[in-house]
Amino acid sequence: MVIRELQGLLFMACAGAFLSFGPTNATPAKETPWLPDAAAYRLTLFLGSLEPLPWNDVASAWSDTHRNSEFSEGALAWLRDTSDVDTGPLLDTIENKDRQALFAAATQLVALRIEEELDRALDAEDPATAQQAVRTAREIYRAFADGIAAADPGAARQIGLAWLELNSATGSAGVLGAGGTPADREAMAEARTAISDYLSANYLVDEFAPRQILNTLPETVVLTGRSVEVPPSLPPGSDIFDQDPLPLLVLNFEEQGIDESDLPLVAYGDMLFDSAQIFGSPARDLGIACSTCHNRSDINQRFFIPGASHQPGAIDVDGAFFNPVFNDRRDDPLDIPSLRGLRFTGPYGRDGRFASLRDFTRNVIVNEFGGAEPTPFMLDALLAYMLEFDFLPNTLLTADGKLTGQAAEAARRGEAIFDRPFAGLGDRSCASCHVPDGNFLDRQAHDIGSAEPAYAGARAGAFDTPTLLGTVYTAPYFHDGSLPTLASVVDWFDESKSLGLSETERADLTAYLEAVGSADEPYETFDAENTAFRLAFSELTTFASTLDTLLPRRDAEHILLLTDTVATDLSADASTMSNLTGRPEVYALAERLAKVGVAVRDEDWEAAEAHWSAFKDEARLIEERAF
Amino acid sequence: MPIQWNRRAALVISAAGMLSLATRLAAEEGRLRLAFIPQENPQKLLGDIEAITGWLSGEIGVPVEGFVTIDHAAAVEALRNGDADISFMGALPFVLAEAEIGAVPLLSEVYRNAPSYTGRVFVRRDSGVESLADLRGRDIAFADPISESGYLYPLAEFMNAGLIDGPGEAEAFFGRVFFAGGYQQAMQAVAEGLVDAAGASQYADLLLTPEQQAAVTWIAESEAIPSHLVIARPGVDADLQRRFVDAMMRLNEADNRDMLRYIYGPDGYVKADPAAYDGVRDMARRYGLLE
């Protein structure tokens, strides 16, 4: 085997491995690529659990490659090329829109595929072919693994050992006759039987019991009626990694030279913004926090969840996935908005339905993401932090929104167009709504015709005027992200509002928008000194600094929220360290913080103080040594 | 269920077809044939091969073609038969191919500033296992029986510690010895508690989830293992071989570095030092793989 296998830092998503750990971290792990058939099955389970069920997406899950797939063909083509398993029954269920039959057919298909590869392994005449078949069978089995691990850990272990036995028993071809070992056919057959018997009893049954949520729980367990929670997972094609390049965070206090650790409420809010613990499941279990969508107060252009996102950078937060109680049963994903300059951009929500940022934030936590009611302190802290978000500095603009001398001539011509009234705009100008000396917004909602009426006579197409500041880096545009560039936004207005702009005028207006939406330094710059880990380490230790305030107040609830979040994230972020030898120290530091939480749970405040004091000393030493 | 035609068969047959064609092509002057070892996803590798061979053709000025072999052994066979001129290769298969067919080392891969790495013995932090001796009677998963960092070198640490007399004694020392099929499978086996230890590359814990990484540690590390390399069959036209090496070395330049992802993603290449593989030759002799 080779070192090169490691380069992608691929993590096998084995649910069993997640069960024994505590709070979920907000550091997503890149998954090992799914085989097309296994990927289509996992997508089917995910989409099939949504209400209303997106049947077109289910069909696409089998016909198309999933997002970011390493394979050039979808599951059906893959199966045509690699398998004799009949896909007809599956396609019939999709055609008939029969959810239960879909589950049964897809599950049986996957089980048959495993059996098919096991047949190949047993029939193989040489170790390399047998091992390839075992590997493929095991990769498909991965589609069932989380359900088995959750419901039947004993069986999961037995099957895990059977895979090891099976692969070991295939023998080795060696190289040029050296190091070869023959296959142990008897051991192969025995290991295969252990796997096949379980599949037969649980995934190749004639009839499956109805399931509220389509999952991979073994049928024998489902029939007992025992309640088993399968840890939530995202389907193949999902992407909750931060965008690259990472947006630069501009915090008002920081620009004034004030240390965040001297602002405990802000620091606690910063921690909450990065904490998945404030949400309910599945967001919490998946490590989704405010910052997952709003990277460094801005957006996340790569965020994508099948069935909930219609394109990268968009999400339907009131769909079926995050909080079924809040499901509005409308397929209306929104382009993720930037939160820069948040204190100037109210009202909140794309349609401006929340005058209060506090109400909006509570709605996000409780309704959109199913979290528990936040305490007043949590809301105060989150608001204190978010109100520090500033716009990106832009030397092309004066404080009152005029172009500076550094702006190009085309942009200057565009500025004049921007200020010009048009009949198509009701004798108003672009600047009427995007007020230059008001951060390029008017804090009102207007129906500009960017959304189709939801029903005949509907007057519900008004959206809050968005700022134009920083928009060069927040494509695509409009509430649904339907326009890919600022030039296309100019075109849209020119055409839909009959502005009558010439080609040159369109280009000039675009140049103006690009100047207004520009920034001196839009992205975080990482180098050998300022690494992603160092940034995370610095943030997490700053979050922890609020213990200086919370411990004397004996505020157990908020301390535990902090220690659960920060200790877990610190440990997880160690996996991103380029200095691998430094990892054990960071793990030890994370454990130290976790001990603060343990002591607080035990109401041993003296021990909690001692662990916190030790944490500060150890963190300081790590900072000195590691960096 | 009878298997008729499938992608895997197609891949193998297509490769076989290419091989027979290659025998003729390799004989033609001014062509270079590269053998690639498959990764987890052969389909991706085929796309990668197209990209890198296209680039190399432009750099060297002759057509460069590539094909996927089923494993290291098949790649060595291709070199022996003249079906391939050059192959990507592990250190152990290289020293065996060197002894058997006179294969020539050209380039060594660089990872994290070094053309070498190590093998480690990993355990779970909560296992109570602190030394190799603690693994007596316990189960271990290795990657593959001809893997340097995933078997030979980690197992040698047990010999160096005086716990095992020779490779054949491993079964007597451990409870069970498994060959999991790869680093990732071996590491998963230890992380999930299926086995007590895993022998794998020093970087193999990076294949685990962040949570699993925190739960795993290592208790022994091998001597440095020279990294994987690019080798040639004997008799490749000297000028062509030189141009190939020069082109590959240009992958270290900033403008070309993105091409490295098409050839297994090392950080770069250095010209191979045959003496650097003496340790692997010794290790192969220790395991009775080399005379």
Show the domains of chain B with their CATH numbers: 7-114+226-286 (3.40.190.10), 119-223 (3.40.190.10)
Residues 161-180 of A with CB under 8 A from B: 161, 163-165, 167-168, 172-176, 178-179
Q: With an 8 Å Cβ cutoff, are A176 and B73 in contact?
A: yes
Q: Which CATH class is domain A252-386?
A: mainly alpha
Integer CA distances (angstroms), B255 to B243, B251, B259, in order: 18, 8, 9
Asked if B181 reaches chain A (Cβ–Cβ under 8 Å), the answer is yes
Q: Which of A93, A21, A84 is nearest to A62 (CA)?
A: A93
Residue A174, pLDDT > 90, answer: no
pLDDT at A23: 61
The per-residue pLDDT for range B171-208, each reduced to its tens digit, is 999 999 999 999 999 999 999 999 999 999 999 999 99
pTM of the model: 0.91
Q: How confident is the model at residue B13 (pLDDT cuts 50, 70, 90)?
A: very low
- Phi/psi class of residue A599: alpha, beta or left (left: φ > 0; alpha: ψ in -120 to 50)? alpha
Contact B245, B105 (CB under 8 A): no
Instruction: State the average pLDDT over residues A33-58.
Output: 97
Contact A415, A403 (CB under 8 A): yes
Residue B42, pLDDT > 90, answer: no
Residue A171, pLDDT > 70, answer: yes
Instruction: State the average pLDDT over residues A333-351.
Output: 96
Q: Which of A411, A383, A373 is nearest to A395 (CA)?
A: A411
The per-residue pLDDT for range A118-137, each reduced to its tens digit, is 999 999 999 989 999 999 99
Structure token pair of residue B182 = 């790869």
pLDDT at B29: 60
The per-residue pLDDT for range B207-246, each reduced to its tens digit, is 999 999 999 999 999 999 999 999 999 999 999 999 999 9
Q: With an 8 Å Cβ cutoff, are B180 and A164 in contact?
A: yes
Kindly provide the residue ranges of all beta strands, DSSP E only, lying in A421-524, ordered along the sequence: 445-446, 463-464
pLDDT at A455: 93
Q: What is the overall mean pLDDT for chain B? A: 88
Which carries the bigger pLDDT value, residue B85 or residue A5?
B85
Q: How confident is the model at residue A31 (pLDDT cuts 50, 70, 90)?
A: confident
Q: How confident is the model at residue A627 (pLDDT cuts 50, 70, 90)?
A: low
Domain A532-626 adopts which CATH fold? Four Helix Bundle (Hemerythrin (Met), subunit A) (1.20.120)
Q: How confident is the model at residue B116 (pLDDT cuts 50, 70, 90)?
A: very high
The per-residue pLDDT for range A519-562, each reduced to its tens digit, is 999 999 998 878 888 899 999 999 999 999 999 999 999 999 99
Q: With an 8 Å Cβ cutoff, are A29 and B204 in contact?
A: no
Residues 105-164 of B with CB under 8 A from A: 109, 111, 117, 141, 143-147, 149-150
The CATH architecture that domain A409-516 belongs to is Orthogonal Bundle (1.10)
Residue B61, pLDDT > 50, answer: yes
In chain A, domain spans: 3-224, 252-386, 409-516, 532-626
Q: How confident is the model at residue A27 (pLDDT cuts 50, 70, 90)?
A: low
Instruction: State the average pLDDT over residues A310-317.
Output: 97
Q: Which of A38-42, A537-541, B71-75, B156-160 has the lowest mean pLDDT?
A: B71-75
Asked if A241 reaches chain B (Cβ–Cβ under 8 Å), the answer is no
Residue B10, pLDDT > 80, answer: no
Which carries the bigger pLDDT value, residue B2 or residue A551?
A551
Residue B1, pLDDT > 50, answer: no
Q: With an 8 Å Cβ cutoff, are B217 and A161 in contact?
A: no
Contacts of B101 in chain A (CB under 8 A): 176
Residues 6+ apart with CB under 8 A from B195: A164, B138, B139, B140, B141, B176, B178, B189
Q: Which of A461, A484, A486 is nearest to A472 (CA)?
A: A486
pLDDT at B113: 87
d(CA B217, CA A132): 29
Residue B28, pLDDT > 80, answer: no
Q: How confident is the model at residue B25 (pLDDT cuts 50, 70, 90)?
A: very low
Residue A10, pLDDT > 50, answer: no
Q: What is the overall mean pLDDT for chain A? A: 93
Instruction: State the average pLDDT over residues B60-80.
Output: 92
Residues 6+ apart with CB under 8 A from B50: B66
pLDDT at A527: 85
The DSSP code sequence of A524-563 is ----SSS-HHHHHHHHHHHHHTTHHHHTTTT-HHHHHHHH
Contacts of A7 in chain B (CB under 8 A): 264-266
At residue A612, the 3 state secondary structure works out as helix
Q: Same CATH fold, A409-516 and A252-386? A: yes
Residue B157, pLDDT > 70, answer: yes
Q: With an 8 Å Cβ cutoff, are B39 and A4 in contact?
A: yes
pLDDT at B73: 86
Mutation for testing the A interface, residue in B12, B40, B110, B231 having most A CBs under 10 Å? B40
d(CA B235, CA B62): 17
Structure token pair of residue A41 = 């099955």
